[in-house]
Amino acid sequence: MSRQKRILITGGAGFLGSHLCDYFSEAGYYVIAMDNLVTGSVDNIAHLFSEVNFDFYEQDVSKYVHVAGDLDVILHFASPASPIDYLEMPIQTLKVGSLGTHNLLGLARAKGARFMIASTSEIYGDPLVHPQTEEYWGNVNPIGPRGVYDEAKRFQESMTMAYHKVHKIDCRIARIFNTYGPRMRVKDGRALPSFLAQALLGESLTIYGNGEQTRSFCYVDDLIRGVVRLLEVPYNLPINLGNPDEITIIELARKIRSLSPNSSSDIVHLPLPEDDPQRRRPDISKANEILNWWPRIGLDEGLQYTLSYFRDKIFM
């Protein structure tokens, strides 16, 4: 009789981490979610607490990590991900990307576990190449306000590849572009959830700059499929995961406003934050070819699902 597979998911009470907990729980894994709850919420995983094959550890991975027993897979998804979070917690953000990654790579080595990091499109900074391919090295200000997140993720990739080369860790690097869906925080601070909350509340939709900067938004179910597929395929170099459909921020605001018929929101412009990327779109050729993966859910459909979730959270 084969042993039940065991997986550790750091950031397991967060937006992406909680969806991964759901997927692997349903897939028959013994799931261990680890989170210090700085930005995560137990509400996201409370429905799993009654499962016999689920554990939750409230723990800061940058301080120490201990998990008894076997581990087959480690998914390191712990980190503040919104600018308002990592601007308020710059040192914690750097630590979870550096010390936390080091601790978890050591655990992966000790357990013989496959190891995946949640990297980010932010490693490309304000890109000079468009769309962004995995071969592009980025345009990042290391001492700017966003540098704590960008450089933490860049270091995370370097450390992971070093452990792969020296200690033969079976690693995966997912460069995740803007992802949205249920379980995003209402006060997340990023454009899409901010617009949804403002539209539902009848408040002004706040755009930073002229709104002509672009982003590409991937629905969470598509992203989770990509993560799972990457885990299954023997490929150790970074792979972009995101939706290549590009939209300006002002177009996104108008679209979200139109989906909320009770909203009389106007659109106001505020100063553009320092080092805010002007264009963002993933080249997912490698994901197509190597993973046989591409997004299936368009922005209009995904926004309807997310709007419904936000409506319930705000007016419940």
What average pLDDT values come out for the chain (316 residues) when binned by 10 residues? 90 98 98 97 97 97 95 97 92 97 98 98 94 96 93 98 98 98 93 93 92 96 98 98 97 92 82 86 98 97 96 86
Pick the catalytic residue from 23, 149, 163, 180: 149
Can you tell me the distance from the alpha carbon of 179 to that of 167, in angstroms, rounded to the nearest whole number?
32
Compute the distance between CA of residue 242 and CA of residue 157 in angstroms, rounded to an integer: 18
Going along the chain from its start, the domains and CATH numbers come out as 6-181+216-244+282-296 (3.40.50.720), 191-212+246-279+306-315 (3.90.25.10)
SS3 state at 231: helix
The candidate with the shortest Cα–Cα distance to 291, out of 125, 134, 108, 97, is 134
| Number of Cβ within a 10 Å radius of residue 244 | 18
In the annotation, is 149 catalytic?
yes
End-to-end CA distance of the chain: 46
Cβ contact 113:72 at 8 Å: yes
DSSP secondary structure code for residue 133 in this structure: P
| β-strand partners of 72 | none
* pTM of the predicted protein model: 0.96
Distance from C-alpha of 119 to C-alpha of 102, rounded to nearest angstrom: 15
Q: CA-to-CA distance for 228 and 175, rounded, in angstroms?
A: 14
Distance CA 245, CA 257 (A): 19
